[in-house]
Structure 1
Amino acid sequence: MINKNVLPMPAVSASVSCMDLGNLADSIKKVEDSDVAFFHYDVVDGRFNKCYILGDILCDYLKKNSRLPIEVHLAVYDIENYIEVFAQKKVEYIAVHYEAMKNPKEIFAKIRSLGAKPVLAYRADTEPKDDLIELAPLCEWILKLTVNPGFAGQKINPEAIKHIKMMSDMLKQNNIKTRIQADGNVNKNTTRMLAEAGVTIFTGGTSGLFLAGKSIQENLRELLAPTKEFID
């Protein structure tokens, strides 16, 4: 088993919205019996994308009944209204969207002041701008969506792969070690191109990590096998 206190290279997170929420205790155990590094917990407000996913009560249950870190992904506007709610639950990471922030530095500082660590998130169709160089060192990693948040079964947006490569090149050119996470249609057929573009953290869901007929650990190994050529 991996050391749960250290984020592996590469790392896989489990998308909670893709788990069997009707049997959550069993789903948590199955994830924690694998080398999954943390839980990825989507919160969608119906405005950032036209759906509603997960909320604060379920997050309470997850935190109290699991031992892995939790990344709360706030796919929301009015971010300030959500940060304190989830920080109070002692989650380890809070991902906030570039598109929803007027002053990312202030939001990052608030997250840290409340005891969590900030993650900088980008939609699938958002191209990185020059301020990535200024913001990347201030967050734990960069979460790049490769599909629209909230709907399972989508195919990767090709533009998102181009954006990841742009991000990776910008970070390397400026000697910034911040890692890139991909979320959306992550499976054994897509992780190679994601890793080649610069991804080292993979969020697994219905298309890769929770496939029926195999354990989560078996699916995780199949996910990561194509990445070995690109990730040490």
Structure 2
Amino acid sequence: MIKLSPSILSADFSRLGEQVKEIEKHGADWVHIDVMDGMFVPNISFGVPVIKSIRNLTTLVFDVHLMIEDPARYVKDFVDAGADMITVHYEADRHIDRTIKYIKSLGVKAGVALNPGTPVSMIENLIPDLDMVLIMSVNPGFGGQKYIEYSVDKISQVKELKDKYNKELYIQVDGGIDATNVSKVVKCGANSIVAGSAVFKNNEIEKNISNIKSGF
């Protein structure tokens, strides 16, 4: 079962609660929440108060993607705010194994994200403890970027590790995904799709979700 996780970074923030309800109504599976600190990535988004404010509006899984330095400092705050899954960047954490174990000790799922330039081999030893690997198919920090074509190779490599370890694992892809290329990443093994601009563009959420899911 492939999961669609619309990124609310591309939502209309003046109608955020309404749009979260709308994506649930029209077939989204998760809510992708991009948290940026202006240090690990050159942008600042939102934090715990925003997540708390929308948690009681939906039953969807909150898929929280921490694009922040030293993420372990804030993991418990995001769990308390309602996160169901927390993904941290391999590049942002000097003690990634410890952070993964800490996330799971709090009763939520743990993921590790890889920037485009980071090879999949760097996380092979972590696979048995992970619930998700997130392949960034753009350089993180901003929505609306163009998809990086070599991402399919990395998705395939994670799929090989998933099979090698006989592991239930979400392989998520995030960046530049829309109805024109989603089938390509699904074919390579992606089973969790993040889409921001492609879901919320032109305020045609129902149509956009339908178009993306037609590529699953």
- In structure 1, what is the Cα distance between the partners aligned to 2:163 and 2:21? 38
- Measured after TM superposition, the shift of residue 35 of structure 1 is 1.3
1:223 to 187, 208, 212: 212
- In structure 1, what is the Cα distance between the partners aligned to 2:69 and 2:23? 30
Amino-acid identity (%) = 26
Give the CA RMSD over aligned residues.
1.7
Instruction: Write the mapping of 1:170-209 to structure 2, written as runs, cut at 5 A.
Output: 170-206=161-197, 208-209=198-199
Q: What amino acid is the match of 1:196?
A: K
2:74 corresponds to 1:85: no
2:54 corresponds to 1:62: yes
Instruction: Specify which structure has the higher proportion of helix.
Output: 2
Q: What amino acid is the match of 2:112?
A: L
1:166 to 122, 141, 157: 157
Q: What amino acid is the match of 1:219?
A: N
Q: What amino acid is the match of 1:204?
A: A
What residue in structure 1 maps to residue 111 of structure 2? 119
- CA deviations over 1:4-27 (Å, ceiling 9, x no partner): xxxxx1110110111111111211
2:201 to 206, 211, 225: 211
Q: Is there any run of 5+ residues in structure 1 with no aligned partner, and where?
A: 1-8, 228-232
Per the alignment, do residues 24 and 47 of structure 1 end up closer, same or farther by CA in structure 2, a change over 3 Å counting?
same
Could you list the structure 1 runs, at least 4 aligned residues long, displaced by more than 4 angstroms after superposition: none
Per the alignment, do residues 217 and 137 of structure 1 end up closer, same or farther by CA in structure 2, a change over 3 Å counting?
farther
2:120 is paired with a residue of what secondary structure?
A: coil
1:35 is paired with a residue of what secondary structure?
A: coil
- Measured after TM superposition, the shift of residue 199 of structure 1 is 0.7
- Counting matched residue pairs gives 216
Q: Is there any run of 5+ residues in structure 2 with no aligned partner, and where?
A: none
2:141 is paired with a residue of what secondary structure?
A: coil
2:213 is paired with a residue of what secondary structure?
A: helix
2:136 corresponds to 1:145: yes
What residue in structure 2 maps to residue 72 of structure 1? 64
What residue in structure 1 maps to residue 121 of structure 2? 129
- In structure 1, what is the Cα distance between the partners aligned to 2:22 and 2:36? 25
1:48 to 40, 55, 65: 40
Q: TM-score, with normalisation over the residues of structure 2?
A: 0.92
Q: Is the 8 A contact 1:124 1:144 kept in 2?
A: yes
Q: Is the 8 A contact 1:95 1:118 kept in 2?
A: yes
- CA deviations over 1:128-180 (Å, ceiling 9, x no partner): 11642x31231221111111223122111123222112222232244333120
Q: TM-score, with normalisation over the residues of structure 1?
A: 0.86
Q: Is the 8 A contact 1:44 1:149 kept in 2?
A: no
- Measured after TM superposition, the shift of residue 211 of structure 1 is 2.7
